[in-house]
Amino acid sequence: MKVLLATKNKHKVKELTHIFENSQLEIVLLNLTDFPEIEEPVEDGHTFIENAIIKAKYYYAHFGIPVISDDSGIVVDALDGAPGIYSARYASVNQANASSADNRKKLLAEMEGITQRNAHFECAMVYYDGTTCFTSTGKTEGLILEKEVGHNGFGYDTLFYASEYEKPMGLLSEDEKNQISHRGKASRALIQQLMMK
């Protein structure tokens, strides 16, 4: 069965492809990096799961094949949950996604002088094939670092200390990250549901 990974984020594509290809599911994965011309949907949901459903339904309507979508971000306690669902456009001035470097810079500035640095990554994932809709979520707990550490991962990874490993996320290999990440956990929960289908 062909399934579309409905993300234009090449880092997500890499992580998800690795996880799903190493599962027992018999699927052939396509992804949106091969279709850069396709317009993105308006992500105007109020939660990660609402946005993941918006993406899944939008791309299913476009391609007509089963879709897996991911909406994710970092949630910082001391910032009342920001940037949360707005993680991709945190430093944006025009609603479009901002660069990851600018987003990290803004997060560091907002956290300056704050000692309570608890945060978590969150991921909502959806499988939609026109009739069946499965959803799953994953979280990984940690702290916002005082400065960037390491070069691995993407987005906010170099600013995140992963409690489960007691290590900065920016120093984890892709395999290590997938073991504990919000995306890894949501993917495995979705795979469980798809195995029973």
The answer to the question of residue 128 lying near ligand ITT (CB under 6 A) is: no
The answer to the question of residue 187 lying near ligand ITT (CB under 6 A) is: no
The answer to the question of residue 157 lying near ligand ITT (CB under 6 A) is: yes
Backbone region of residue 4 per phi and psi (left: phi > 0; alpha: psi in -120 to 50; beta: other values): beta
Residue closer to ligand ITT (CB basis): 137 or 197: 137
Residue from 119, 156, 178, 194 binding ligand ITT (CB under 6 A):
156
Active site residue 71: yes
Residue from 66, 73, 168, 184 binding ligand ITT (CB under 6 A):
73
How do strand 28-31 and strand 133-144 relate by DSSP bridges?
Answer: unpaired
Residue from 3, 4, 9, 187 binding ligand ITT (CB under 6 A):
9
Using the rule CB under 6 A, give the single segment among 21-29, 60-68, 96-104, 188-196 that binds ligand ITT. 96-104
How near is the Cβ of 121 to ligand ITT at its closest, in Å? 6
Residue from 142, 155, 170, 184 binding ligand ITT (CB under 6 A):
155
Using the rule CB under 6 A, give the single segment among 8-16, 108-116, 125-133, 186-194 that binds ligand ITT. 8-16
Q: And the tokens for 179? A: 């073991």
Residue from 20, 31, 56, 70 binding ligand ITT (CB under 6 A):
70
Using the rule CB under 6 A, give the single segment among 1-9, 59-67, 128-136, 143-151 that binds ligand ITT. 1-9
> What is the DSSP secondary-structure string of the chain?
-EEEE----HHHHHHHHHHHHTSS---EEEEGGG-TTSPPPP---SSHHHHHHHHHHHHHHHH-S-EEEEEEEEEEGGGTT-BGGGGGGTT-SSSSPPPHHHHHHHHHHHTTT----EEEEEEEEEEESSS-EEEEEEEEEEEE-SS---S-SSTTGGGEEETTTTEEGGGS-HHHHHHHSHHHHHHHHHHHHHHH-
| Amino acid at site 138 | G
Interface residues with ligand ITT (CB under 6 A) are 7-9, 12, 43, 70-73, 87-88, 97, 100, 103, 121, 153-157, 181, 183
